[in-house]
């Protein structure tokens, strides 16, 4: 790596920061390659974020560390998509879903091999890394 880049923290002057520096959260993709789904935790207040954030909006600090999304979560909600955003048409149909891990929530997709009869709100699920036919990685929710 080259010289350390100066952190542009002008956004801290705003109350709530919804700005995430992509360079700092690109490790998320490397972690997927290692078979891990990760979020970030604020070292100052302990708040956990998924998707990972480079800054804590509560403390306005960048004092963050990675954690593994492990164990199980509860399915809060899901929805089968018949229409997809541009770029995702080839994936249809698929279901987006939200898992509640207690301290944080994970938004993602249900595994494609789950039938709708198998899925119900409140069920226990886990987040796993999934390899796509083109070699890219994403993550999906499976029955725990
Ligand atoms: Zn914090």
SS (H, E, C) the chain: CCCCCCCCCHHHHCCCCCCCCHHHHCHHHHHHHCCCCEEEEECCCCCEECCCCCCECCCCECCEEEEECCCCEEEEEEEEECCCCCCCHHHCCEEEEEEECCCCEEEEEECCCCCHHHCCCCCEEEEEEEECCCCCEEEEEEEC
Centre of ligand 1 from the C-alpha of residue 130, in Å = 30
Question: For residue 15, what pLDDT is reported?
Answer: 41
Of 11-20, 59-68, 90-99, the range with the lowest mean pLDDT is 11-20
Question: For the ranges 4-8, 91-95, 125-129, which has the lowest average pLDDT?
Answer: 4-8
Could you tell me the pLDDT band of residue 116, with boundaries at 50, 70 and 90?
confident
Quote the ligand 1 centre to 18 CA distance (angstroms). 14
CA of 48 to the centre of ligand 1 (A): 8
Indicate the pTM of the whole model: 0.78
How far does the centroid of ligand 1 lie from the alpha carbon of residue 121, in Å? 30
């Amino acid at each position: 790596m080259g010289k350390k880049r100066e952190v542009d923290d002008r956004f801290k002057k705003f109350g709530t920061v919804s700005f995430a520096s992509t360079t700092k959260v690109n490790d998320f993709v490397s972690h997927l390659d290692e078979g891990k789904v990760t979020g970030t935790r604020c070292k100052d207040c302990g708040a956990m974020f998924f998707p990972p954030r480079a800054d804590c909006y509560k403390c306005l600090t960048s004092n963050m560390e990675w954690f593994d999304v492990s164990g199980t979560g509860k399915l809060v909600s899901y929805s089968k998509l018949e229409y997809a955003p541009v770029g995702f048409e080839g994936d249809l149909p698929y279901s987006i879903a939200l898992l509640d891990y207690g301290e944080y929530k994970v938004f993602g997709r249900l595994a494609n091999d789950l039938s709708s009869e198998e899925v119900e709100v409140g069920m226990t699920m886990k987040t796993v890394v999934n390899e796509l036919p083109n070699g890219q990685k994403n993550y999906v929710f499976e029955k725990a």
